[in-house]
Amino acid sequence: MKLIEHPDVSRTFNQYPDTVFNKLQYLRNIILTTASQIEGLDTIEETLKWGEPSYCTKNGSTIRIHWKKSNPDQYAMYFHCKTKLVDTFKEIYKDVFKYEGNRAIIFNLEEEIPVDDLRHCVKLSLTYHNIKHLPMLGL
C-alpha cells in the first residue's frame, strides 16, 4: 500500500501536547495498519482537512483525528456525518465507544482503546463507498 504524505500533517502533529501527540500517533498507526490489510486498497492519502490530520482512500470516507483545547481530557476520530458509519458503529458496538452525535468516536486520554473494534470501524470507513448500499454496511 502506498502512503501519500503531506508535510503539513507532520507539523500539525508536532503542535499537539506530548501526551496528545502519542495518542493521536496511536490512532494514526491503527488507521494505516488497518488500511495496509485491506485487500485491493492500493493508496491512502494523509492530508489536512479543517486543519486536522485526515486519511482518505479512493472508495472510502475520510477519517480525521484531532484533540481540542476546549476538551483537554479527550481526543476523537471523526467520520463524515452524512454517512451511516457512526450510526452503524452505535448499533454494533453500543457501549464499547463513546460517541459524539453521528460524527465521532470520543476517547478519554486515560482509557484503553478496544483496538480490534476500532480497526473494524476504520475498515468500514476506508471501504465505505463499496459497502454503503448494503444493510448494516454488510454486517
pLDDT digits (tens, 9 = 90+) for 30-67: 999 999 999 999 999 999 999 999 999 999 999 999 99
pTM for the model: 0.95
- Predicted confidence (pLDDT) at residue 138 exceeds the cutoff of 80: no
φ, ψ at 114 (rounded to 5°): -75, 90
Q: Which CATH code is given to the segment(s) 2-138?
A: 3.90.1150.200
pLDDT of residue 131: 84
Query: Cell for 90?
Result: 452505535
pLDDT of residue 100: 96
pLDDT of residue 139: 65
Domain boundaries, the chain: 2-138
pLDDT digits (tens, 9 = 90+) for 89-130: 999 999 999 999 999 999 999 999 999 999 999 999 999 999
- Predicted confidence (pLDDT) at residue 26 exceeds the cutoff of 70: yes
